[in-house]
């Protein structure tokens, strides 16, 4: 782990910015929203993984551009809010905006190509996303959402595992440098 982190830490100037085929981010984001809606039909199994969150993390980390990351996060989050039946629009939007910004910032400083690094980053961003959601719901909706539970821990571990696989698949959308 320490070796992975040491080798993964590079200066910003040495981090490679990945390019994707045009429209790939748009299509993947759309598919992620559809898939999330599809999985949502299956209740608890569908809630295990937040696919749009994984897409935001992946493209933000890969593009390493904070502006792109936060706009992508905002767009996906707002669409996710719009597709939900009771969420006020902007709840997931704010959370994913912050995740997109942080992920692109982190991606500009760290090498995130290693699967372990991707697992850890996804695990951390999942909980950061959850904390932001909980704070927003507490402040705006006056609903007491727990910041951390065993279920959230399981969800975060599952999401991180899925992210390792998903990110490897999405790497195929990169244009060769």
Partner 1 sequence: MIDALSRHRSLALLASVVLAQVLLLAYQIRKADSNVRLVRYWSVEASMPAARGGTWFFSRLGGFWSGYIDLHNARKENDDLRSQLGQLELRNRELEAQAAEAKRLEILLNFHSAHPEAQMLAAQVISASADPASDTIFINRGEQDRVRRNMGVITPDGIVGKVVEVFSTSSQVMLMTDRDMGVGAMFADTRTHGVVKGTGDPQPIMDYIVDDEKVAAGQTIVTSGEDRIFPKGLLVGTVAAAKEGNPFQKIQVRPAARLDRLEDVIVLVTQQELAPGKNGDGFGVSPAPPPPAPPAEATSSSTTLPAPGVTTPARSIASQPAQQGAPVH
**Mask for 138-167, x = binds partner 1 (CB under 8 A):** --xxx-------------------------
Binding of residue 66 to partner 1 (CB under 8 A):
yes
| Nearer to partner 1 (CB atom), residue 113 or residue 137 | 137
Separation of alpha carbons 23 and 176, rounded Å:
16
What tokens were used for 74?
Answer: 């905002």
For the CB of residue 98, give the shortest distance to partner 1 in the complex, in Å.
Answer: 7
| Nearer to partner 1 (CB atom), residue 45 or residue 140 | 140
Residue 174's SS3 state is strand
Among 54, 57, 98, 163, binds partner 1 (CB under 8 A): 98
Are the beta carbons of 121 and 112 closer than 8 angstroms?
yes
Among 93, 121, 130, 156, binds partner 1 (CB under 8 A): 93
| Nearer to partner 1 (CB atom), residue 58 or residue 101 | 101
Separation of alpha carbons 77 and 50, rounded Å:
11
Are the beta carbons of 132 and 98 closer than 8 angstroms?
yes
Q: Quick one: which H or E segment has residue 111?
A: none
What tokens were used for 120?
Answer: 């850890």
For the CB of residue 103, give the shortest distance to partner 1 in the complex, in Å.
Answer: 12
Say if residue 142 is exposed, middle or buried (CB neighbours under 10 Å; 0-12, 13-18, 19+).
exposed
Binding of residue 45 to partner 1 (CB under 8 A):
no
Binding of residue 25 to partner 1 (CB under 8 A):
no
Residues that bind partner 1 (CB under 8 A): 65-67, 70-71, 74, 77-78, 88-91, 93-94, 97-98, 101, 136, 140-142
């Amino acid at each position: 782990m320490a070796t992975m982190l040491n080798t993964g830490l590079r200066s910003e100037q040495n981090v490679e910015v990945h390019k994707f085929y045009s429209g790939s981010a748009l299509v993947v984001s759309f598919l992620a929203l559809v898939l999330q809606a599809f999985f949502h039909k299956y209740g608890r199994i569908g809630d295990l993984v937040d696919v749009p969150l994984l897409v935001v993390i992946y493209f933000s980390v890969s593009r390493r551009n904070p502006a792109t990351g936060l706009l992508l996060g905002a767009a996906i989050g707002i669409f996710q809010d719009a597709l939900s039946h009771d969420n006020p629009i902007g709840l997931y939007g704010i959370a994913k905006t912050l995740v997109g910004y942080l992920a692109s910032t982190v991606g500009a400083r760290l090498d995130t190509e290693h699967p372990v690094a991707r697992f850890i980053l996804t695990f951390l961003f999942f909980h950061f996303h959850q904390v932001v959601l909980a704070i927003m719901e507490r402040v705006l909706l006056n609903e007491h959402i727990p910041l951390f539970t065993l279920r959230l821990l399981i969800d975060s571990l599952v999401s991180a595992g899925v992210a390792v696989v998903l990110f490897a698949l999405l790497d195929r959308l990169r244009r060769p440098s």
